[in-house]
């Protein structure tokens, strides 16, 4: 009898310990894969993890701001190093992997060089987008510090000046400048407050109403605009610091750099899963979201899962890959989705 009770106690303890490793709630639960990619990353130099993307072959592209090797390519299953290369970009920050006709290409923003570069998946430079001098909104290139690129299937681009003057610049498929909005342009909610438009996403799930989502980082909110830059709506994310918006299926991922950022720049972050209405349905690395009378209550990290999650992507199996800023002990994480 005593032996049986001991076995039951051990089983219960194991079950509780296993449950404590589960992150998220509802249909979006995950577990960190221990030491995934650590052997590969030990072979290269990593300064800060900034962004991640998965190509059609299932390879992970990990962007860092170490100019010795800006792009590290890993196997999404094993975490093995496939290759790494440099674009010689010391301020590499935003990464977009897009399909162009019969090939995939990368767009990378650089906050230090004040430009965006277009490259092949092997690192061959195809084009550069310098500071938008023709917009008349800047006195010098140093005022422009692009953080994010959105790419439309028809070839149009939107470049977020998230660390400069908070404008969003649209480019035509041939690379020519078209228009700017946000920043101090327009009135009311059409403007974007400083330290606001850090990242975002192009939401094409409703083809009749395409939307640009802007993650307003330090403003603790997400704003929606039409493709011409007219304000549609906004949603508060108290206690968060939404750095990006990554659509997948009927949902999207929102990484929060820290739960008290910028008041406490050492505060750890978490990741929210939101539905089409931008309602939080799962918090990864944080307690469940609580709504009172339809209003989201302040959220807070669990203080142990993430350091500063900056970029996130999802593979075909639903697993997450997280790039972390200012996190030398864990610049890149893989989270396995639990079914």
Work out the pLDDT band at 280, boundaries 50, 70, 90: very high
pLDDT of residue 312: 98
pLDDT of residue 251: 97
Work out the pLDDT band at 172, boundaries 50, 70, 90: very high
Residues in the chain, total: 339
Q: What are the Cα distances from residue 300, in Å, to 49, 190, 247, 260?
A: 22, 29, 23, 8
pLDDT of residue 31 exceeding 60, the answer is yes
pTM: 0.93
Tell me: the pLDDT tens digits for 282-319?
Answer: 999 999 999 999 999 999 999 999 999 999 999 999 99
Residues 6+ apart with CB under 8 A from 74: 37, 40, 59, 60, 62, 80, 81, 82
Multiple choice CATH, 24-338, 2.120.10.30, 3.40.50.300, 3.30.465.10, 3.40.50.2300: 2.120.10.30
pLDDT of residue 265: 83
**Tokens representing residue 117 in the block:** 């570069």
Report the pLDDT averaged over residues 240-268: 92
Report the pLDDT averaged over residues 118-125: 98
**Tokens representing residue 165 in the block:** 């003057």
Question: Domain boundaries in the chain?
Answer: 24-338
The label of the residue with tokens 């649209």 reads 170
pLDDT of residue 102 exceeding 60, the answer is yes
How far, in Å, CA of 179 to CA of 175, rounded?
Answer: 12
Contact status, residue 214 vs residue 254, Cβ threshold 8 Å: no
Residue 191's SS3 state is coil
């Amino acid at each position: 009898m005593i032996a049986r009770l001991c076995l039951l106690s051990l089983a219960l303890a194991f079950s509780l310990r296993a449950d404590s490793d589960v992150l998220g709630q509802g249909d979006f639960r995950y577990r960190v894969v221990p030491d995934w990619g650590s052997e590969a990353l030990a072979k290269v130099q990593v300064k800060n993890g900034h962004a991640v993307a998965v190509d059609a072959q299932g390879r992970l592209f990990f962007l860092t701001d170490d100019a010795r090797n800006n792009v590290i390519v890993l196997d999404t299953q094993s975490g093995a190093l496939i290759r790494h290369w440099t674009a010689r970009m010391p301020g590499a920050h935003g990464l977009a992997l897009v399909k162009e006709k019969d090939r995939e290409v990368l767009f990378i923003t650089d906050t230090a060089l004040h430009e965006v570069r277009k490259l092949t998946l092997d690192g061959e430079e195809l084009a550069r987008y310098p500071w938008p001098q023709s917009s008349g909104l800047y006195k010098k290139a140093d005022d422009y510090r692009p953080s994010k690129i959105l790419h439309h299937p028809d070839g149009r681009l939107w470049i977020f000046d998230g660390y400069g003057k908070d404008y969003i610049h649209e480019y035509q498929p041939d690379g020519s400048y078209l228009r700017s909005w946000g920043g101090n342009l327009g009135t009311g909610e059409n403007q974007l407050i400083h330290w606001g438009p850090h990242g975002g996403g192009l939401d094409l799930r409703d083809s009749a109403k395409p939307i640009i989502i802007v993650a307003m980082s330090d403003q603790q909110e997400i704003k929606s605009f039409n493709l011409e830059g007219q304000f549609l709506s906004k949603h508060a994310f108290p206690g968060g610091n939404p750095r990006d918006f990554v659509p997948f299926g009927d949902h999207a991922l929102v990484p929060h750099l820290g739960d008290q950022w910028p008041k406490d720049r050492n505060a750890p972050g978490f990741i929210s899963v939101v539905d089409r209405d931008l309602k939080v349905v799962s918090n990864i690395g944080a307690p469940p979201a609580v709504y009172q009378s339809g209003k989201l209550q302040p959220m807070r990290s669990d203080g142990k899962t993430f350091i500063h999650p900056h970029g996130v992507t999802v593979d075909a199996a639903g697993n997450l890959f997280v790039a972390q800023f200012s996190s030398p002990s864990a610049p890149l994480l893989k989270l396995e989705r639990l079914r």
